[in-house]
């Protein structure tokens, strides 16, 4: 063994992240430590499992309230590898049939119907998963296409909708010349580092006057919720973005700012509709749904999108439309 081999420095697992991805601010304060545990990938992807036991701090921007990781893994295609989940055919089919997100999906379709009238009209769902939203959009009169990188869910979405499901990212689709009147990103943007780059690309995929609909968790409200749960259940550890499953933690203000900086106009940020998950018993489901809808209804009151009741955010914006007044952007 040579001396060079013996003294080789360990591989750098992380690289630092620069200023705030939304506003460029450099006043970034740490507030949470995310832990990594990839032991379930030990056989499938040992390089990913090397990150088990590591941790990354989340930092909050003093200027805009957005939060992001202090550093990112250097492993090539880290996030693609993390999302390379090999679900069973049965599980994927169940995801297509499941209605727990239908309240969210129908709320988005109602607003897009108002913003993008007339037919024919084309919609692209980025992160189409098993195709449930594409299916509901077809029922609402849209010609749909999807982007889905996981081959198993993409195959299900294509088979169940009969529509094109692209196995490429949005940047590649721009080069193909495809254009749409509406583009949806539901529970997608929180996973993509440097979110303004993706939003700018989405802007290039939209026809003039077209609309984007973006749903993300509200980072600040999720943090308050985790803290409250850890007080109510002392054995519960605050778990926010472990494995960096979410890299972007938006507030209403920073989400509106990200859309404007990406070139969008007519930006509106509201409280997003909740998931209504199934429960084992009928009464359990009624109680769960009633409480979720009650919180959502309260969080839809004027100004309440800025309170911890707004657990998720739903933004709409347009390209090439008349700019909204600044004070109308978030409500």
Binding-residue pattern over the window 17 to 36 for Zn ion, x denoting contact by CB under 5 A: ---x-xx-x-----------
Alpha helices in 140-192 (DSSP H): 151-161, 170-175
Q: Which is nearer to Zn ion, 35 or 57 (CB)?
A: 57
Which of 13, 63, 174, 245 is the binder for Zn ion (CB under 5 A)? 63
Q: Which is nearer to Zn ion, 211 or 248 (CB)?
A: 248
- Spatial distance between the Cα atoms of 112 and 141, rounded to a whole number of angstroms: 11
> Which residues ranging from 159 to 188 are in contact with Zn ion (CB under 5 A)?
none
Q: Which is nearer to Zn ion, 61 or 130 (CB)?
A: 61
Strand partners, 313: 216, 271
DSSP class of residue 147 equals E
Burial environment of residue 16 by CB neighbours within 10 A (0 to 12, 13 to 18, 19 or more):
exposed
Strand partners, 183: 124, 212
Q: Which is nearer to Zn ion, 22 or 218 (CB)?
A: 22
Which of 17, 48, 56, 61 is the binder for Zn ion (CB under 5 A)? 61
Q: Residue 301 region, left (φ>0) first, then alpha (ψ -120 to 50), else beta?
A: beta
Q: Please say whether the beta carbons of 74 and 50 come within 8 A.
A: no
Alpha helices in the chain (DSSP H): 3-7, 46-49, 78-82, 89-97, 102-115, 132-139, 151-161, 170-175, 195-205, 219-232, 252-261, 282-299
Q: Which is nearer to Zn ion, 22 or 154 (CB)?
A: 22
Q: How far is the CB of 111 from Zn ion (least distance, A)?
A: 27
At 31, phi and psi to the nearest 5? -140, -5
- Spatial distance between the Cα atoms of 74 and 12, rounded to a whole number of angstroms: 7
Q: How far is the CB of 66 from Zn ion (least distance, A)?
A: 5
Q: Burial letters for 90-109: b for 16+ Cβ neighbours within 10 Å, e otherwise?
A: eebeebbeeeebebbbebbb
Which of these ranges, 14-22, 80-88, 219-227, 317-325, lies near Zn ion under the rule CB under 5 A? Answer: 14-22
Which of 36, 41, 51, 66 is the binder for Zn ion (CB under 5 A)? 66
Residues touching Zn ion, count (CB under 5 A) = 8
Which of these ranges, 13-21, 49-57, 102-110, 273-281, lies near Zn ion under the rule CB under 5 A? Answer: 13-21
Q: Which is nearer to Zn ion, 36 or 66 (CB)?
A: 66
Q: Does 58 bind Zn ion (CB under 5 A)?
A: no
Which of these ranges, 8-16, 64-72, 216-224, 304-312, lies near Zn ion under the rule CB under 5 A? Answer: 64-72
Q: Does 64 bind Zn ion (CB under 5 A)?
A: yes
Q: Which residues bind Zn ion (CB under 5 A)?
A: 20, 22-23, 25, 61, 63-64, 66
């Amino acid at each position: 063994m040579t001396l060079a081999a013996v003294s080789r420095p360990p591989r750098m697992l992380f690289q630092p992240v620069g200023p705030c991805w939304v506003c460029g601010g450099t006043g970034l304060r740490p507030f949470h430590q995310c832990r990594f545990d990839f032991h379930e990938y030990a056989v499938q992807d040992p390089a990913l499992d090397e990150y088990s036991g590591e941790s990354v701090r989340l930092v909050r921007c003093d200027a805009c309230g957005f939060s992001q990781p202090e550093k990112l893994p250097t492993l090539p295609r880290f996030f693609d590898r993390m999302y390379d989940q090999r679900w069973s055919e049965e599980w994927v089919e169940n995801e297509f049939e499941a209605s727990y997100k239908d309240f969210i999906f129908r709320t988005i379709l109602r607003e897009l119907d108002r913003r993008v009238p007339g037919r024919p009209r084309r919609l692209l769902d980025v992160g189409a998963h098993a195709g449930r939203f594409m299916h509901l959009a077809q029922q609402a009169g849209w010609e749909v296409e999807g982007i889905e990188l996981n081959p198993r869910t993409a195959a299900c979405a294509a088979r169940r909708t009969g529509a094109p499901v692209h196995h490429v990212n949005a940047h590649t689709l721009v080069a193909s010349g495809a254009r749409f009147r509406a583009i949806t990103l539901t529970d997608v943007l929180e996973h993509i580092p440097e979110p303004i780059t993706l939003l700018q690309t989405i802007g290039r995929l939209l026809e003039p006057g077209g609309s984007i609909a973006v749903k993300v968790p509200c980072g600040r409200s999720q943090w308050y919720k985790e803290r409250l749960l850890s007080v109510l259940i002392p054995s519960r550890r605050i778990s926010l973005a472990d494995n960096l499953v979410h890299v972007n933690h938006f507030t209403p203000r920073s989400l509106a700012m990200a859309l404007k900086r990406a070139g969008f106009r007519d930006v509106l940020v509201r409280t997003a509709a909740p998931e209504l998950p199934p429960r084992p018993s009928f009464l359990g489901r009624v109680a769960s749904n009633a409480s979720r809808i009650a919180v959502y209804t309260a969080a839809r009151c004027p100004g309440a999108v800025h309170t911890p009741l707004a657990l998720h955010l739903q933004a709409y914006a347009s390209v090439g439309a008349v700019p909204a007044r600044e004070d109308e952007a978030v409500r």
